[in-house]
Chain A
C-alpha cells in the first residue's frame, strides 16, 4: 500500500516537562496543531507509524554509532528519562517486527543501516507519541539518524535514505505513516537553551514545504552549527521525510518559537503525490 501520511514535528523535553512555564496562547495553539496532526494520522488508518528521530544517547553511543538505525522488535519502552521531569509515564510501546524486517531488508539495497531488536525511547520519540498516538496502541517503528555524535551522515545521504525508505514502503502491503521529528535552529541543553533563529527556521521550512532537493541539501554543517546551533543538525529527519514524499509539497501547520521549550515549535504535513 505504501505511505498514507507524512509529516514532521518538534520534540523537546520542555514541551511536556515545562508545559506550565510556557506562555499559554502559543503553547495551546501548538498543542492544538499536534491534535490536528493526530486526527490526520488517525484518518489515514495506518497499520504502523514510522518515526524518524534523532535520539540523545538513549541507545546509541560513540563506542559503535550507526548513521542510520531501525527498530525490529515487537515492543519498545520509554521514556528513559525521569518520569516526573518529562511528565510522561514509562510505558511499553507496540512495534511491528515483521514489517520492520521487510523494510530493513529492502532499504539495505541502498543504505547500510543497523537494525535493533531492543530500543529504549527517549523524549525525542516519547514527546511526539504522547501527542500523536497517546494510547500507545498503534505499532511504532523507530528510526534513528545520528545527529549527536560527529562525524554525521551528510544531508545527501539523508535524502537517499528517505527515498530508499519510500521505495521499501511502496513494496509493503501495509498502510504506513511516517513522522520526522527534530528541531530546526536551537541550542538545547546548553546555557543558550531558548535561543532560536526564527528567520533561519522560516527559510528552512519554506524550502521544506517546497520540497526542493537542491535547496534542502545546500546547507553545510558549518553553516548549520553557526546559524542554527548543534540542535540544527536534526534537520536531517525533516530532509528524510521530504525525500520519502518526493514530488509532494509540504504545508506548515504551525511554527512559533517557544523559548521555554527550547525550540521553534513546528508541525508540518507533506502531501503525498499519487
Chain B
C-alpha cells in the first residue's frame, strides 16, 4: 500500500492542468512517475472510486477527482457505498463511512 503516493497523484491531477492533460494523453507514463502498487495503479486507471475510497483516499481529494471524471453527485456517493460493500470498511484516514452500507443519508 502506498496511500500517500495515490493521494499525491490525485492531488496533482486535481489542481494541475498539465497533469490533467498527461492523464488523458498518456496515463500509463504519468502513473509510472508515482510509487504505486499494481492494485492502486489499476484503481486509478479504471477510475474505481469505490476502491480508492476503501484504500483511505481523503474524501476531499476523491470528490474532486470524481467531479473531474464527470461523475454525477449521486453516482459518486453510490460508488463509495458499493466500494465498501465489495471490499469492506475504509482501511485508513479520517473519511470512514459511519452509516451502514445500505443506508441512504441525503442526496442519494
Interface set, chain A 217-274, CB cutoff 8 A to B? 225, 229-230, 259-260, 262
A1 on interface, CB distance cutoff 8 Å? no
Contacts A18-B73, A192-B99 known; A61 to B8 CB distance under 8 Å? Answer: yes
| Shortest Cβ gap from B43 to chain A (Å) | 17
Q: Which of B1-54 contact A (CB under 8 A)?
A: 4, 7-8, 11, 14-15
Q: A133 at the A/B interface (Cβ < 8 Å)? A: no
Contact B95 A230 (CB under 8 A): yes
Which residues of chain B are near A14, meaning CB under 8 Å?
A: 73, 107
Contact among B11, B67, B84 for A191, CB-based, below 8 A: B84
Question: How far, in whole Å, are A189 and B15 apart by their CA atoms in the complex?
Answer: 17
Number of interface residues of B (CB under 8 A): 30
A259 touches B67 (CB 8 A): no
Contacts of A195 in B (CB 8 A): 98-99, 105-106
- Contact A262–B106 (Cβ < 8 Å): yes
Interface range for A: 35 or more
- Stretch touching chain B among A26-34, A42-50, A77-85, A206-214: A77-85
Residues of chain B within 8 A of A229, CB atoms compared = 98
In the complex, are the beta carbons of B97 and A192 less than 8 A apart? yes
Q: Determine which residue in B60, B61, B67, B84 has the highest number of CB atoms from chain A within 10 A of its CB, and name it.
A: B60
User: Is the pair B58, A80 in contact by a Cβ cutoff of 8 Å?
Assistant: no
User: Which chain A residues border B106 with CB–CB below 8 Å?
Assistant: 193-195, 259-260, 262
Q: Are A62 and B64 in contact (CB under 8 A)?
A: no
| Chain A: minimal CB distance from B61 (Å) | 5
Offer 16 A-B interface pairs, CB within 8 angstroms, sorted by A.
A56-B60, A57-B11, A57-B58, A57-B64, A58-B14, A61-B7, A82-B67, A120-B15, A189-B59, A189-B60, A191-B80, A191-B81, A193-B107, A195-B98, A230-B59, A262-B106
4 more A-B residue pairs beyond the given contacts A21-B107, A190-B59, A191-B77, with a C-beta to C-beta distance below 8 A: A190-B95, A191-B80, A191-B84, A195-B98
